[in-house]
Amino acid sequence: MPEVAVREITMAEAVREAISEEMRRDPSVFVMGEDVAEAGTPFKVLSGMVEEFGKSRVIDTPISEPGFTGIGVGAAMTGLRPVVDIMFGDFLTLVMDQLVNQAAKVHYMSGGAWKVPLVLRTTLGASRRSAAQHSQSLQAWLSHVPGLKVVLPSTPHDAKGLMKTAIRDDNPVIFFEDKMMFRLKGPVPAEDYTIPFGVADIKREGEDITLVATSSMVQVALGAATLLEEIGVSAEVVDPRTTWPLDEKTLIESAKKTSRAIVIDEGYERYGVTAEIASVIATGAFYDLDAPVKRIGAMHVPIPFSPPLEDATIPTEKSVFEAARAMCRK
Amino acid sequence: MTTESKAAVAGANVTAEKWLRMYRGMQMIRLFEEQVNELYTRAVMPGLAHLYIGEEAVAVGICDALNRDDYITSTHRGHGHCLAKGAAPDRMFAELLGKEAGYCRGKGGSMHIADPASGNLGANAIVGGSAGIATGAAFSAKYRGTKQVTVCFFGEGALGQGLLYETMNLARLWNLPVIYVCENNMYNEYTHFSETTAGEILARPAAFGIPAESVDGQDVRAVHATASRLVEAARAGKGPSFLLCNTYRYRGHHVGDVSRDYYRAKQEEQRWMTEKDPIRLHGEWLLKEKLATQAQLDEIQAKAKAEIDAAVDFALKAPYPAVGEVGEDVYA
């Protein structure tokens, strides 16, 4: 029998498909943000949605991130499920009060009386030559806040399943998409499926070293793993998929199995996602580790514009490969 | 009696009932807040609270124009809004004392009381912070087609916050049923608003095309009449409005702010209390119009006092939450 071809779509298409399916299923779901309607966002992630759902559910806003994010919070509290679009992750700084002091705290402060089923989509990732205010990866800031959930899909398949979970979740969920991965293709089932939060995915099995990687760094880690294979090092690549809730068990078990771990995230290394995950592994797998857990994140500089400078600030296949080789003494 | 005059008498009774209800509502807030101050002074209440004394006519006049399922958002000075919208004083006091029986199971305290049953989306301790939530609730009502109206209460200090202008712009663009109620009690904490507020306040909403007007916030009937008109318009699909209520905070910024000479004169406070007290003014009007006797007003006050005393008693006797509850409710 001929094998059924697995459908491949891009990351952008997977996100769009997830939101569209949820909007067909649930009339309380709507999209709101800058240039989300006819423009379909600058990255064209939402192209065609306004044609299907109309301008009452795919809503263009003024350039007022705190204003429309706040409206999202109020709408979520009163029976709707907004998907708020913040064009660049760097603009999260503008909406921090609405996310951190309002959305994240409403359920707790009210003793559970009100809930905020809000999804905030935004981007992360450098190397697009967009300089310091359009290139940051600020997932650590939001992972720090009780009351928020933080999602970092690394494949089209994960993006679709995780987005559906995010929309159905009764809490504020921050959904980071790597702007450099929107055109990445991968197999995505056409049918409805969800991926639970707090469940890491082993993207590649290995024996000698664990590479824990998030979002944009999963492809980097997989590339490094291929290079490592050539020198006889078997690397396991583990993708936590959500920084909160965090699947500590899978991370620790992998590190115990391989006895070595490197954590890679595109956010700033200092006080970042890598620090938290490294601490989880160092604590949980201490007696099985052959080396201190290593962290690789963005350099502690604002992201520069000039290509050779920018490329020096973020982890690469080569830097991960070199670090892993050194750790494995190869 | 003719049918017409019967109807007139019935109408007059309804009117009397309404104005007496508002008299009682203001008394409840005043007595509630005096008890809050007492609990603070006796060191029974943890933390601080911001008293609404002097501003009662605003919350009562406006909330009486709303339905129970209409929404409000409130401020750090929120006890008055909360009571006027229909919350029970016993569970409010319990919240103020950090007790399990409180509206937020002790997790919110004075500045965060919320009550879905009375449409209270919550008090907010970020000045102007609830403008988004209020406008979002109005958006939601329009999206769901429910005809609910939202009132966003904030003090004049919030006029310095950008969020308010972003949401007013959006509310006008999208024609949302929200009323922005600015309670100008004249002081941004310890600073007179004239030092922080350029130009004319009403010119700001007007710039967005939002109908804006001001009212004497010490006159509950004027507040109520204006609010009723604005609520009606919002419900009829005419979009947002802005109501500036000129009022005065008799007490300090919070219960601990007792030496206020460095930012305002005692004579100024005295003048407002003697000449512009909303409860006394309304009481005198009820007597003059023969809608109530002094004995009736005294009875209203005595009953309110008894209810407040019982509520305090309930809260004092109520247990604290079990420490194990600290980790509950972080996520829904």
Tokens representing residue A69 in the block: 């994010």
Place of tokens 């204006």: B226
Last residue of a domain, one of A128, A163, A187: A187
Q: CA A72 to CA A321: how far, in whole Å?
A: 43
Computed over every residue of chain A, the mean pLDDT equals 97
CA atoms within 13 A on the CB side of B233: 18
pLDDT tens-digit series, residues B196-227: 999 999 999 999 999 999 999 999 999 999 99
Does A1 map to a domain? no
| Helical ranges in chain B per DSSP H | 3-41, 56-63, 79-85, 89-96, 131-144, 162-173, 203-207, 220-235, 266-275, 278-288, 294-317
Please give the Cα distance from B238 to B223 (Å, whole number): 20
Q: Which residues of B touch A61 (CB under 8 A)?
A: 170
Q: How far apart are CA B139 and CA A81, in angstroms?
A: 12
Kindly tell me if the per-residue pLDDT of A180 is higher than 80: yes
Q: What is the pLDDT of residues A95-144, one digit of tens each?
A: 999 999 999 999 999 999 999 999 999 999 998 999 999 999 999 999 99
- Give residue A237's domain range: 201-327
Distance between CA atoms of residues A118 and A116, nearest Å: 6
Same domain, A31 and A137: yes
Give the whole-angstrom CA distance, residue B243 versus residue B226: 8
- pLDDT in the model for residue B2: 66
Q: Which of B12, B124, B39 is nearest to B77 (CA)?
A: B124
Give Cβ neighbours of residue A24 (< 8 Å, ≥ 6 apart).
none
Contact A67 B129 (CB under 8 A): no
Q: Is residue A20 part of a domain?
A: yes
- DSSP three-state, residue A313: coil
Same domain, residue pair A145 and A47: yes
Residue type for position B321: P
d(CA A219, CA A200): 15
Q: Is the pLDDT of residue A3 over 90?
A: no
**A65-85 average pLDDT score:** 98
Tokens of A94: 């503008």
Residues 6+ apart with CB under 8 A from A69: A84, A86, A95, A98, A99, A103, A120, B132
Say yes or no: A288 and A183 in one domain.
no
Q: Is the pLDDT of residue B41 over 70?
A: yes
| Least confident window among A55-69, A129-143, B8-22 | B8-22
Total domains, chain A: 2
Q: What does the pLDDT read at residue A165?
A: 98
Using an 8 Å CB-CB cutoff, list chain A residues near B114.
106, 109-110, 113-114
Question: Last residue of a domain, which of A187, A212, A243?
Answer: A187
Closest Cβ–Cβ partner in A79, A112, A116 for B329: A112
Quickly count helices (H) and strands (E) in chain A: 12, 14
Residues of A classed as catalytic: 134
Shortest Cα distance, chain B CAs vs residue A87, angstroms: 17
Torsion of CA A260, A265, A269, A275, to 10 degrees: -50
Residue ranges of domains in chain B, CATH in brackets: 23-255+262-320 (3.40.50.970)
- The whole-number average pLDDT for the span B58-76 is 98
Residue B15 pLDDT level (bands cut at 50, 70, 90): confident
Token duo for residue A272: 């970042």
* pLDDT-wise least confident of A37-41, A95-99, B7-11: B7-11
User: For residue A69, what is the nearest residue in chain B, using CA coordinates?
Assistant: B132
The dihedral region occupied by B89, where left means phi > 0, alpha psi between -120 and 50, and beta the remainder, is alpha
Residue A308 and residue A165 share a domain: no
User: Residue A102's closest chain B neighbor by CA?
Assistant: B129
The token pair at B78 is 């929120």
In a domain, A168, yes or no: yes
Mean pLDDT of all residues belonging to chain B: 96
Interface membership of B325 toward A (CB under 8 Å): no
- Residues A114, A251 within the same domain: no
Is pLDDT of B37 > 80? yes
Query: Could you tell me if A220 and A277 lie in one domain?
Result: yes
CATH number, position A232? 3.40.50.920
Tell me whether residues B332 and A67 touch, CB distance under 8 A. Answer: no
Question: pLDDT exceeding 90 applies to what percent of chain B?
Answer: 95
Q: What is the pLDDT of residues A280-306, one digit of tens each?
A: 999 999 999 999 999 999 999 999 999
Angle (CA) A99 A102 A105, round 5°: 100
What ipTM was estimated for this complex? 0.96
Does any domain span residue A193?
no
DSSP state of B312: H
CA A238 to chain centre: 14
pLDDT band at B253 (very low <50, low <70, confident <90, very high): very high
Residue A30 forms part of a structural domain: yes
Q: Are A12 and A132 part of one and the same domain?
A: yes
Amino acid at the residue B73:
T
For chain A, the residue count is 330
In a domain, A301, yes or no: yes
Query: Are residues A168 and A45 part of one domain?
Result: yes
Q: For B258-290, how does the pLDDT look when each residue is reduced to its tens digit (9 = 90+)? A: 999 999 999 999 999 999 999 999 999 999 999
Angle CA(A291)–CA(A295)–CA(A296) in degrees, nearest 5?
A: 135
State the pLDDT at residue B129.
96
In 10 A of CB A196, how many CB atoms? 12
CATH number for position A151: 3.40.50.970
CB neighbours (10 Å) of residue B232?
12
Q: Please state the pTM of the whole predicted model.
A: 0.96
Helix (H, G, I), strand (E, B) or coil at A37: coil
User: In a 3-state reduction of DSSP, which class is residue B55?
Assistant: coil
Q: Is residue A2 part of a domain?
A: no
Q: What's the pLDDT score for residue B1?
A: 59
Separation of alpha carbons B36 and B42, rounded Å: 10
pLDDT surpasses 70 at B40:
yes
A192 domain-assigned:
no
Please check the confidence at residue B30 and state whether its pLDDT lies above 90: yes
Cα–Cα separations (whole angstroms), residue A192 to A8, A188, B139, B235: 15, 10, 29, 39
Same domain, A166 and A29: yes
Q: Which of A152, A187, A222 is the last residue of a domain?
A: A187
Q: State the Cα–Cα distance between residues B77 and B75, nearest whole angstrom.
A: 5
Contacts of A243 (CB under 8 A, 6+ apart): A139, A140, A143, A150, A152, A214, A273, A276, A277
Amino acid identity at A233 = V
Percent of chain A past pLDDT 90, that is, above it, reads 97
Residues 6+ apart with CB under 8 A from A32: A59, A61, A68, A71, A72, A82, A83, A84, A85
Q: What angle do CA B2, B6, B8 make, to 5 degrees?
A: 115
| Residues of chain A positioned with their CB less than 8 A from the CB of B133 | 70, 73-74, 77, 102
Instruction: Tell me the β-bridge partners of A83.
Output: A31, A119
Are A220 and A305 in a shared domain?
yes
Residue B229 forms contact with A (CB below 8 Å)? no
Identify each DSSP E strand in chain A by its residue range.
8-10, 29-33, 58-60, 81-85, 119-124, 149-151, 173-178, 185-187, 201-204, 209-213, 235-239, 242-244, 261-268, 294-298
**168-227 of B, contacting A, C-beta below 8 A:** 169-170, 173
Q: Residue B74 is inside which H or E element, if any?
A: strand B71-75
Question: Quick one: pLDDT at residue B3?
Answer: 66
DSSP single-letter state for residue A293:
-
| A156 and A34 within one domain | yes
Asked whether B95 and B89 are in contact (CB, 8 A), the reply is no
> What is the model's pLDDT at position B9?
74
Same domain, A246 and A294: yes
Of residues B107, B108, B132, nearest to A70 (C-beta)? B132
Cβ contacts (< 8 Å) between B169 and chain A: which residues?
62, 64, 67
